[in-house]
Amino acid sequence: MKKLSLYIFLGLLFCNVSFAKVLNFKCEELLHISSDGEKYNYRDIMLLQIDTSKKEMREYDDTNRAFLFKWKITKINEYSYISGELTDDTNGTEDMWSSAAFNRWTGEYETKPNKKWGFSRYSCKPISKQLY
């Protein structure tokens, strides 16, 4: 009986093993609504990086190497990664009402960094390999 309980205990210790990943996505902007309510169709491209070990999402612009926004993932469920907290941004913005969400099933990413930037929706596809 003691051996059986020891085996069960050791089995339970190893059941919760998980591996963290860094997921990279190439995202194309579908819609941008500015802070004054105007709709724009820029078709901007960005890199979205989701680090599951650090629980953060980073947005990288296609024109420079620095990240634009870094989000702390506050909620993970079966369908999405959700953030309500902007941890760092290179733009030094105030008036925060920040949120970001990545849909794990459709690949859509929505971001609202602050009142100045407005709202953007992207369609993202995974990047399997780096080119160079």
Number of domains the chain is built from: 1
* Residue partners of 72: CB distance under 8 A and separation at least 6: 55, 56, 83, 85, 86, 87
Q: What residue numbers bound the domain in which 53 lies?
A: 20-126
- In a domain? residue 103: yes
Categorize the per-residue pLDDT at 62 as very low, low, confident or very high, splitting at 50, 70 and 90: confident
Task: Give the other-Cβ count within 10 Å of 130's Cβ.
Answer: 6
Answer with the residue of higher pLDDT: 127 or 89: 127
pLDDT digits (tens, 9 = 90+) for 4-56: 777 777 666 666 555 668 889 999 989 888 877 788 777 788 899 999 888 99
Give the Cα separation of 27 and 39 in Å (integer): 18
Q: Where are the alpha helices (DSSP H) in the chain?
A: 2-15
- In a domain? residue 13: no
Which residue shows structure tokens 């609504």?
A: 33
Distance from chain centroid for Cα 34: 21
Question: What is the SS3 assignment for 127?
Answer: coil
Which residue shows structure tokens 């925060």?
A: 96
Backbone angles phi, psi at 25, to 5 degrees: -135, 140
- In a domain? residue 78: yes
- In a domain? residue 44: yes
- In a domain? residue 15: no
Give the Cα separation of 115 and 12 in Å (integer): 47
Task: Read off the CATH number of the domain in which 106 is found.
Answer: 2.40.160
- In a domain? residue 9: no
pLDDT digits (tens, 9 = 90+) for 63-112: 766 777 888 999 999 999 999 887 765 555 555 567 899 999 999 999 88
- pLDDT (0 to 100) of residue 101: 93
